[in-house]
Amino acid sequence: MNEKLLTKRRYKDGDREHLPWQEEIFDADHTYKCPTYVHRTPPCQGSCPSGEDIRGWLNIVRGIEKPPEGVEWQKYAFERVVEANPFPAIMGRVCPAPCEDGCNRNEVDDRVGINSVEQFIGDYALEHGLKLHPAGEDTGKKVAIIGSGPAGLACAYQLRRMGHACTIFEEHEELGGMMRYGIPGYRTPREVLDGEIQRILDLGVEVRNNTKIGVDVSLEDLRNEFDAVYLGLGAQSGTALPVPGGDASNCISGIAFLEAFNDGRLKHSAKKVLVIGGGDTAMDVAAVARRLGHITNVREDDRPEYVVLGHTAHDVASVAKREGAEVTIVYRRPVDKMPAAKMEIEHVTQEGVQIMASLAPVEVILDENGRATALRVVEVDWASGKMEIIEGSERDIECDLIVAAIGQKCNFTGMEDLDNGWGLIDADPFYRVKEEKDMFVGGDVLKPHLLTTAIGHASVAAEGIDKFLKGEEPSRRPKVDSHHFSLLSKLRETDLAPTEYDHVQQTGTDTADFAIHNYEDRSFAEIVPADELFLGYFSYDARRLRGESDVNAENVLGFFGERIKGLSPEQAREEADRCMSCGMCFECDTCVIYCPQDAIFRVKKSEATMGRYVDTDYGKCIGCHICEDVCPSGYIKMGLGE
């Protein structure tokens, strides 16, 4: 946290440059422009791949946006979160939070702990048995969903809300996709994952487990049985290490390693493990390998690679004999260029994992039996912006197991025509499979990325499927494609909706009750930047950090509990209160206090709601711009009169 950031002035000594001519319109102390109230998207939401109304549910938690009478704020916040994301308890734990990177509060002291508040909301919902938004009225249409990862489950949720019947086809015994098989179970606790999945199934989603499309059922038969198909196939096949010897039996993929662990088959690893890669999968593999440790006297059948490949499974009794493992991550770029979440890098380092950066694999060194005994690497330099090999820097790193976490692709067995040549599927901007009107797609099979990205794909695809089932062409997607706050919906919720317009020409409509006055919604097109906020309003306020279990290099062996602990209700409200509500009024009264003409006033309590807290008497306003200058959230723009 940098306290030097706290000096924030709108204008500074020596500022003499005039504004652009279209804005340099003052005549003495007044202009013809008057304030209007402009709703724009905050950068947290603009950075969220699933498009959550983050500012909205933070304002609910902090007590600014009030729930309907008789509804607890926790429940109301949950309902706002799950408009976009039906997995708040999981995402609050494992999402690397690009929303926090975009947070404007970074310009003041430190980001808002969005993930920690989301986890609080998700955990509360599970503890109190809260339900998702109900299914819509039955449309008579049926959609097949291939895959039960975040993309498939989120799509089923959104489609059920629209009233369409959904059947999920899953090749595994259990649902969850990468949430279950690709992330260690101690990071996605099974009771949490199962609870969030069950809420979706409770909406009336049919499931067919142990069914692989293309093998057990043909894709063509599926298309004949259902009105539309959604492909949430995931990318659950790892990429082999592309160097000589990379196909050795004890060179395995990170995806396969984690699946074997999450299946319960892999109980111990190897003595010296090398993990290749710098993403979140690499961090998870390294963390699991440190927890599993190794067995000194291991039978041939118990070697971890045979377990990972499905040839055998470890005996639980052998766990008592395991010892610690030496785990090293090898990455070809510098540490600060690792795509993994910073917190995950810090955690594995604390747990005794060594990170060797700026090293490129050259060759896997094999013994007489064809097993890897070392990885030959070469030092590389990135100073020029591209990788340059440092001559004479080759060396060997000893190992018993190499795990490559360097890429993913989909298994297209039986559906080879969908493969774009890179192990993925091509789609249009509506996530419709190219040249296939009844097939839509989302998640890692488009491009391996975050869980939240797959959830965002599902929302867009569900809208496209809905239009297809109605015989409509998908409409153009908005520039800022998110689940936005709707003032009209809020007015309806609070019994303040505009009256019906009789479509008879009228005058004096500035006071008519059939329209929303003095408000403009630009949230679908604009993200409010930090330089349009009055940052001087906000004082230093340290982030409320989640607690952590004391896990270190000495005690990590056999530790499979949750590392991160959730916030208390008080901490969650305090952390949410750090939100600057970018692009939306948070009822601070600053504009009312500083208006020299008393032109800005609070709306009557009986007529006020979120986004309708203040109004302007334009008979008094002289367009001095002071309200715009002092608005902390950038909600006021001088535009009326143009």
Distance in angstroms (rounded) separating the CA atoms of residues 625 and 636: 9
Q: Are 130 and 78 in contact (CB under 8 A)?
A: yes
- Strand-strand pairing, 228-231 and 142-146: parallel
Vertex 586: Cα angle to 580 and 588 (nearest 5)? 100
Give residue 311's pLDDT: 61
Residue 410 CA, distance from chain mean position: 21
* Per-residue burial over 311-339, b = 16 or more CB atoms within 10 Å of its CB, e = otherwise: eebbeeeeeeebebbbbbbbbbbeeeebe
Distance in angstroms (rounded) separating the CA atoms of residues 211 and 169: 6
What averages of pLDDT result for each successive group of 10 residues across the chain (642 residues)? 55 73 70 90 97 98 95 98 98 96 94 98 98 97 98 98 98 95 94 98 98 95 97 91 94 94 91 96 97 79 71 58 88 95 95 97 95 97 94 96 94 93 93 94 94 97 97 92 95 92 79 84 96 93 95 94 95 98 97 96 94 93 92 90 56
* Both tokens assigned to 67: 């729930």
Domains, in order of start, for the chain? 3-129+484-640 (no CATH), 142-236+411-469 (3.50.50.60), 238-409 (3.50.50.60)
Integer angstrom CA distances of residue 330 from 32, 237, 487: 63, 21, 51
Distance in angstroms (rounded) separating the CA atoms of residues 124 and 190: 16
For residue 297, the tally of other CB atoms under 10 A from its CB is 7
Beta-bridged to residue 143, according to DSSP, are 166, 228
The SS3 call for residue 630 is: helix
